[in-house]
A and B are shown apart, each in its own frame.
Chain A
Amino acid sequence: MSSVAQKRGFGATLWDWLTTVDHKKIGILYLLGGGIFFVIGGIEALIIRIQLLKPNNDFVSAGLFNEIITMHGTTMIFLAAMPILIGFMNVVMPLQIGARDVAFPFLNSLGFWMFFFGGLFLNVSWLFGQVPDAGWTSYASLSIASEGHGIDFYAIGLQIAGGGTLIGGINFLVTIITMRAPGMTYMRMPLFSWTTLVASAMILFAFPPLTVGLFFLTFDRMFGGNFFDHTMGGNTIIWEHIFWIFGHPEVYILILPAFGIFSEIIPMFSRKRLFGYAAMVFATVLIGFLGFMVWAHHMFTVGLGPTANAIFSVSTMAIAIPTGVKIFNWLLTMWGGSIKMTTPMLYAISFIPSFVMGGVTGVMLGSAPLDYQLHDTYFVIAHFHYVIVGGVVLGILAGTHYWWPKMFGTMLNEPLGKITFALFLIGFHMTFLIQHWLGFWGMPRRVFTFMDGQGWNLANVISSVGALLMGLGILVLIINIIITSVKNVRVGNDPWGDGRTLEWAIESPPKFYNFAQTPLVRGLDTVWIEKMEGNKSGFTAAEPVQDIHMPNGSIIPMIMSFGLFIGGFGAMFHAEEAWGLPLLIFGLFVTFASMATRSLKDDLGYYVKKADIERDLKQKGGRN
């Protein structure tokens, strides 16, 4: 591999992407994969809203409706929101801490391919006509009773994808612990890197319970296990506990990186350092910790008793405190700043009230007596869409516009970006604000239709029109991406002009080795400090130009994940088809043989020669 750009054929380019271990390319793969699943999940959402447009509608059947809501939730959480955020972490975090790659580039690639094949496995269920239909939470009694292979696709698909996420989490943790540039102390780390660190720690401790829960489900459905079957002594509540011990930290795994994105955008476009940096860090860590203490607030109506409900009520409400700290810090960062209303900044400003509304309804639901009234109504739907769309998705859209030039070297069109923003934000509030009232008026969630004359008709029409507006917003974004990619106007290191963190001190997109010389970090917002002191490059090197050690690409991660993918079909069909068991064994053999190949073959990487780096530097006028 040479650092000189060469014209290559399609096959070579494809091979390069399949075998890449470059964190920036893997990040882009995550964004692409997550983006495709986001569109699929969005189409499912639109079908839900079309079905609920009018009373007694028969656009889809009741069974198909169950499948669509299940796949909408599962796809959006596991296959869209998480991978897209992990994509940003992959691209940006190593650049922010001044590293040349993540700690385990091979595992990074493995994590992506496991996510991809897990997601594919889940969505292949549509082709089989047997789709998961027990809701994204897949509560055990229902999921055990579900006929066909639908839930099997859920259990195995999420198992594969979840393994990939766990690998990614460990990778980011080690990267941040061991690979920060000289001077990059923990308390000088940009907030997005901090939230990556905390979210990764949460992944490490939240995903193993999911792994175990999914194994139980797999055993019960496919291998004669009895964990959730009460006639055999099992207990269906165990699934609920395990699922939410994973599931509640999961929502903080999603929102913390979004907080991180906004904590980068707001200081940059207020041209002022983040207010209360230390408090921000502390709040992030505290949210990460409390996130594990609240899972039973999803189970108030199960009957755990008043003591348990009271404890989990209090711990739930406690999370509002560090979150409130963050909200005020963002507001005070803007106060007195010289604000530039760019597209990312618009998202950031609108995020604050939107997310606060979701947080307030969260505290309401955290009150156990009120939860008994609101449980399983549209109020809950409204609440979690306010935090997830109003928090996570706005964060993702903001991050997309914000880091697009860094990832692809060209700016997304600003007017089109603002149109996307307006359509999406108006559509979002239109869809979900009214659903709070629908909940109060008694409309239960997960019903495929409703009867006329209950006063729900108009509200459902408003909600459906809002969903359409959100869809249009995303369509404009896709058009924007196509237009800017075709025009391809190249931009410099710091296209927004006010970069504060290290990613803005290097090329857009960066060279594959990121930093020709490892940077020296002299404080929080180091690039800003350098620029204020008159160093236009925003960069001080910590080392002379020297050979750079880089990892080799490998196809093994993809083969390893593919083995799990085909093994999954074997597990699913082993009871009814003769080829099932051999296929399961073959799939696992492929995976373990690839693993053995990887560990028996020495792979020491290679060196980029000093002369090549000096030539690269010269082309840019001697600057990093």
Chain B
Amino acid sequence: MDLNKKFTPETWPDHPERATHEAKNKFVGFWLFLGGETVLFATLFATYIALKNKGPAGYEHTTQELFELPLVFVMTMLLLTSSLTSVYAMYHMKNFNFKKMQLWLAITALLGLGFIGLEVYEFVHYVKEGFTFDSSAFSSAFFTLVGTHGFHVAIGLVWITLLLIRNAKRGLNLYNASKYYTFSLYWHFIDVVWVFIFTVVYLMGVIG
């Protein structure tokens, strides 16, 4: 692969994310990886449902008492919007508009950062109320499920930051197009998992 090959919007392929052999491998492999991740989160969800509200005798914390839907709603909006902005970024990537792609990816990262900030605030708040990781089976399952998701978001933020900085001056080529694209796949996946967390953990916790 030639990194120095210059493209114009006219010569840029329709599917730059899988235009080379390596990129196609990456594309297929990443989809499969997300399949495995789905099973990983499914196991975490199943465990959470089994251990929800379970604690030692006289345990005071329940989903009803802990969760604040307004905060979680703001987090949900931040993450859903970041998924949308990553779609804009991929739109510009496919149209060979490097500057706009960078801009939208940066906005995506900022929204993700806002989400992580609120999640840290939320966790700290719980710990202050005595709902710590080791206080019950419920708390262990909650922090593991939601924390694993949060960890994925954090990894995604480091990933996109490194990617943007490393390729800041290189423009788009067939070597890095697939890297941006796999990031966006990953980001959508995280978003979908959050939709399930919002429903199963928070909505069903407060309303159900």
Contact = CB atoms under 8 A, between A and B. Distances in A.
A208 B40 contact: yes
B71 interface: no
A235 interface: yes
B12 to A, nearest CB: 20
A200 to B, nearest CB: 9
A310 interface: no
Nearest to A103: B25
Interface stretch (B86-94, B134-142, B185-193): B134-142
Contacts of B124: none
A171 interface: yes
Interface in A236-250: 238, 242, 245
A178 B24 contact: yes
Given A226-B137, A235-B137, A174 B25 contact: yes
A205 interface: yes
A166 B40 CA distance: 12
B35 A224 contact: no
B112 to A, nearest CB: 18
Given A208-B39, A225-B134, A232-B136, A103 B55 contact: no
Contacts of A88: none
A600 B166 contact: yes
A602 interface: yes
A105 to B, nearest CB: 11
A208 B137 contact: no
Which label, helix, strand, loop or mixed, suits the secondary structure of the A interface?
helix
A5 interface: no
Given A208-B36, A227-B47, A233 B136 contact: yes
A209 B44 CA distance: 9
A91 B179 CA distance: 29
Interface stretch (A183-191, A210-218, A353-361, A533-541): A210-218
Determine the main DSSP class of B at the interface with A.
helix
B43 A212 contact: yes
B138 A208 contact: no
Contacts of A211: 40
Contacts of B3: 602, 604
Contacts, number: 109
Nearest to B1: A604
A235 B51 contact: yes
Contacts of A204: 32, 35-36
Interface string B144-176: 100000000000000000110010000000010
A208 B40 CA distance: 5
Contact of A208 (B28, B37, B136, B166): B37
A104 B36 CA distance: 17
Contacts of A224: 133-134
B114 interface: no
A599 B208 CA distance: 45
Given A104-B29, A178-B24, A205-B36, A242 B138 contact: no
A242 B43 contact: yes
B28 A229 contact: no
Contact of B144 (A170, A179, A219, A599): A219
A619 interface: no
Contacts of A103: 25, 28-29
A226 B136 contact: yes
Interface in A321-359: none
Contact of A212 (B29, B44, B133, B175): B44
Given A103-B29, A170-B32, A238-B50, A227 B137 contact: yes
A208 B43 CA distance: 8
Interface string B1-32: 10100000000000000000100110011001
A618 to B, nearest CB: 28
A228 B175 CA distance: 47
B41 to A, nearest CB: 8
A512 interface: no
A381 to B, nearest CB: 29
A148 interface: no
A13 interface: no
- Scoring A170, A173, A208, A232 by chain B CB atoms within 10 A of each residue's CB, the highest score goes to A232
B43 A209 contact: yes
A212 B47 contact: yes
Contacts of A212: 40, 43-44, 47
B100 interface: no
Interface string B38-65: 0110011001001100111001000000
Contacts of B59: 233
B193 to A, nearest CB: 13
A547 to B, nearest CB: 13
A224 B37 CA distance: 25
A202 B37 CA distance: 14
Nearest to A592: B158
Contacts of A486: none
A596 interface: yes
A226 B140 contact: yes
A178 B137 contact: no
B51 to A, nearest CB: 7
B121 interface: no
A307 interface: no
Contacts of A233: 51, 54-56, 59, 136-138
Given A208-B37, A215-B144, A232 B166 contact: no
A314 to B, nearest CB: 23
B51 A227 contact: yes
B56 A174 contact: no
Nearest to B56: A232
Contacts of B35: 204-205
Interface string A475-498: 000000000000000000000000
B146 to A, nearest CB: 14
Interface in B58-117: 59
B66 to A, nearest CB: 15
A454 interface: no
B196 interface: no
A2 interface: no
B205 to A, nearest CB: 16
A207 B56 CA distance: 31
Interface string B123-139: 00000000001111111
A234 B139 CA distance: 10
B35 to A, nearest CB: 6
A235 B36 contact: no
12 contacts: A173-B28, A216-B47, A216-B144, A219-B144, A227-B47, A227-B51, A232-B136, A232-B137, A233-B136, A233-B138, A235-B137, A604-B3
Interface of B: 1, 3, 21, 24-25, 28-29, 32-33, 35-37, 39-40, 43-44, 47, 50-51, 54-56, 59, 133-141, 144, 162-163, 166, 175
Q: 7 smallest A-B Cβ distances: which pairs?
A: A224-B134, A233-B54, A233-B137, A208-B40, A234-B137, A103-B25, A233-B55
Given A204-B35, A227-B141, 7 more contacts: A208-B36, A209-B39, A212-B40, A225-B134, A225-B140, A234-B54, A238-B50
